[in-house]
Structure formats: C-alpha cells, structure tokens
Structure 1
Amino acid sequence: MKNLKLIVFALLLTFCTTSINAQTADEIITKYIKNIGGAEKLKALKGIKMNMVTNYGGMELPVEMVQLAGGKQYVKLNMQGKEITQMASDGKTLWSTNFMTMSPEKSDAENTENALQSNADFPDAMLDYKAKGYTAEFVGKETKEGTECLKVKFTKKPIKVDGVQTDDVSYYYFETENFLPIATEIEIKAGPMKGKKSNSTMSDYQEVEGIFFPFAINMGGQDLKIKKITLNPVINEKDFAFPAIAAVTAEPAKK
C-alpha cells in the first residue's frame, strides 16, 4: 500500500510539473508576442523586407531578404555591384544560384517541402503555435550571453531528412525583462555538420511601425547588421520565380 501511494504521488507530481511547464512556456510566448507588437499587428503583415550587411572576406556585403505571406521568399546578395539570388521560392518551387556556374538550380523535393513548410510560418512560428500543432515546453532558467534567460523547447511539425520524418526542435532563450528571445539553438539535421549545434543570437531590438525586430543577428558566427526594415513592401513577382532559360537554336549554315 505504501508503494502504491508513492506511485500515485509520483504520477500526480509528474502531471502537475508538466502542466506548470506547459503553462509557463505558453505564458512566455504570449508575453513575447504581446511585447513585439501584438498578434493583431503580426497577422496584418503581408510582407517584410530586410536590408542588411555582413562581412565577407573582409568586405562589407549588402544582403536583401524578403518574406511574404504565402511562402514567397528570397535572399539576394550584392557582390561587387552584381546582384545574385542566393535562394528564392515562389511558394511552390525552391531554387538557388550555383556559385560555381552562377546558374539557377531547383532544389530537390525534400528540401523544397521542408522550406515551404517553414516559410508557411510567416510572420512568426510562435504566432498561434498551438493551432499549427506545435508544442512548447519550459526547460528552465539558463544564462546566455551573460543574461539570465528562460529556456523554451519549441517543437514544430516533423521535417524529412533522407526520406525519414525527423523532429524539428529549436531552443529559444528569452531574457526575463521583456521576454524577447536573445538566442536560439538547433541541431543541424543534414550535411557535413549533421549532429552539430547551430547557435544564433539576436539583439538591438528596434521598433518598425509598431513591431519590434532585432537589428543585430549572429548566425553560426556570421554577423548580420540590419540597416532597414520595410513592412508590406511592393515586390515584383518575377523576383521569386525560377528564371526562364530561353532555348537558343542555331540557324543552319548557309551553303
């Protein structure tokens, strides 16, 4: 009987702990969404354009990133005055530029599916996350970048890696004053860095038309400094589409 009571107590403790963690994670995310501008303003967004710079080989490299509702997205680089589309999607096709041949190439079906699934989270994966089938779990307090943070495990719908459904998990670190994320951590799922951790940091939050964005980002050791953010930009649809390659037919030689 004593053992039975201990088992029941342990089950109750587990249930209560799980409920508290879930509630805490949800409260953190709710405060985050509210503090960056609120759900109503985020849902009204049709698109975001970010103009930023990064360092490449000692040179300042301009970068333009656009995200639109509906999964449309592109990242363009300006290298020595030449504009190059690093990657783009029109909501159906994902493609990128091969830097060896400087030719556009379509991504394979698996990468396309994963990217379109991620792009569908515009403008924020945590907005209405429960309705999307995502879950959040409060892990605990942890110091990040010298700041006490609340660590949240955020799980989205699985992605495919080599044909296998794989958990899509990210860890977010929210500072405790304004509940803004200052760091994220994910596990790299494919490629030569598979199994390694990829860390990003975000800082210098600034307000743009009532919504707060980080203007300083470090992704895997690469610094990005945002110069300007434009909300609901007007973008030419051709910028997202895979370039049409005209077939050139040589005229037969005249005799």
Structure 2
Amino acid sequence: MKTINSSVIILLISLFFSGITQGQNYQNIIEQHIKAIGGRESWDKIKTMRSEAMLKSNGAEIKLTFIQSDKKGMRQNISFMGMDGYSILTPTEGWNFMPFQGQTKPEPMTADEVKKGQDGLHLGDAFITYKELGKTLEYLGTDDMDGTECHKFKMIGKEGEETTFYMDAISFYIIKESQKINLNGKQIESSTLYSNYTRLPEGIVYPMAVGGGWGETIFTKIEINPKLEDSVFKLPK
C-alpha cells in the first residue's frame, strides 16, 4: 500500500484553506463596496429613477434624460441639433427614433438587441444584482490603474459575456469597467470611467460623471422614486 508524502498533505490542506480565505476576502470586499455606495437596503428601496445629464462629445453638447422603472422599462430622451430622439426598452420590445441620424420614424429593436438590453432594466448596482441575473463573479486580485490600487473583478453573464470591474481599494467605488463588444464584425474593448461619486438625499452614492470613448456625461439632476406614467415606455402615437 502506497503512503502519501506528508508534505503533499500539508500542501493540499494549505491550498484548501487558501481557497476558503480568498472566497471570504472577496465577499468582504463586495460588502465593503455595497456599504460605500449607500447599503443594500437603500438601493432596494429604489423602484423608479429619473435623471438629467449633458453629454459632451467632439465639441458638441447633447442633452440626455434617463427614465427607469425597475424591471419594467427604461427610456432615454436625446436632444441634439434642435431635434428630439428617444430609445425605449421593455422586457418584450424596444424602439429607437434618432432623427439626427436620418430616421423619419421609430424603428423597432431586433430581438437580439432587446435580449442584450435586459440587464439594464434592473435598477441597482451590478454587485447587488449579479446573482439575481444569473451571473458569476471572479476575483482577479489587485491591479494598478493610473496610480490607483484597485480590486479587479470579472463578471460573467449567462451568455458568456464578460465585464471587468476595477474597484478603488480605499473608497471601494467602481472607477472603471471594460468589456469586449462586437463592432462591425470586430471585437473591441469598450471602457467606461466613473467619478465624482455623490451621496444623494435618499442615501445612495452615485457617480455624477461617466466617461468613455464617446465623451463625458455629467449628471445634473437625479430623482429617486418619481411617479411615472405607464405611457412613458410605450411608442408615442
């Protein structure tokens, strides 16, 4: 009968407890993040949201209004060049109307576009909703992002889509997320930067500045739990 070397046993035990410790540590990091952005209870109270912002891109200023109802619908109104457009998404359908891109009437989203947009219907932080959405999370250790030490996480969706999050190791705020997207048949990495985190009267902490390759979006007003009419998520007649 063969015996197992004692050093092998010690190594296996060490690896086992190392795995447990790493799991506990990254769960603690997530809880620190949720606490930093106002706490799970404050976020769970949010059922609707309306926000106003200004997008600055290539010297142009575009006025944006976002209207969201948790799991029911979201709408983005866009004012540019004296024209008003919009994008509407519900659990079953969606439409885009962009007159500044030459559209003369609303165009329905494809089934694939509707499917890919569903995660956006869930109000709440990604680290609060990921389990509900059937996603998994991997802790990738720490990384340096422009001189800021960050905890790095990879979130994987049900279809295999991956998003990488960079969380400030001191504030526990998300300062960057990146994902690979398909653009004209090519895979490119798209990154979003978050800053100017501000505590709202309702207790949540929200990034008032969001940047990326498209420009920078500055939020000027955020309303929590405003009353919304059902018609806001329906195609205007």
TM-score by length of 2: 0.86
Distance 2:235 2:162 in 1: 30
- Count of residue pairs brought into register by the alignment: 233
- 1:130 partnered with 2:123: no
Local SS of the residue matching 2:22? helix
Q: Unaligned 5+ residue runs, structure 2?
A: none
Whether the 8 Å contact between 2:71 and 2:122 is mirrored in structure 1 is no
C-alpha separation in 2, matches of 1:105 and 1:17: 53
Residue number in structure 2 paired with 1:75: 76
Which of 223, 228, 234 is the aligned partner of 2:221? 228
Structure 1 position 109 matched with structure 2 position 102: no
Q: 1:121 to 1:9 in 2, by over 3 A?
A: farther
Look up the match of 2:192.
200
Mark the CA change 1:222 to 1:19 in structure 2 (over 3 Å): closer, same or farther: farther
CA contact (8 A) 1:25 1:152 kept: no
Gaps of 5+ in 1: 159-166, 245-255
Retained in 2: the 8 A contact 1:71–1:122? no
Moved more, 38-47 or 213-222: 213-222
**Structure with larger Rg:** 1
Whether contact under 8 Å (2:199, 2:205) holds in the other structure is yes
Q: Deviations over 1:51-85 (max 9, x none)?
A: 11112442221111122112310111111343210
Instruction: State, as a whole percentage, how many aligned pairs show the same letter.
Output: 23
Secondary structure, aligned partner of 2:227: coil
- 1:23-172 equivalent positions in 2, closer than 5 A: 23-85=24-86, 87-98=87-98, 99-116=101-118, 118-127=119-128, 129-158=130-159, 167-172=160-165
Q: Is the 8 A contact 2:57 2:216 kept in 1?
A: no
Task: Tell me the CA shift for residue 242 of structure 1.
Answer: 2.4
CA distance in 2, matches of 1:205, 1:172: 16
CA RMSD of aligned residues (A): 2.4
**Paired residue type of 2:35:** K
2:108 alignment partner AA: K
Task: State the alpha-carbon separation in 2 of the partners of residues 150 and 32 from structure 1.
Answer: 11
CA contact (8 A) 1:71 1:119 kept: no
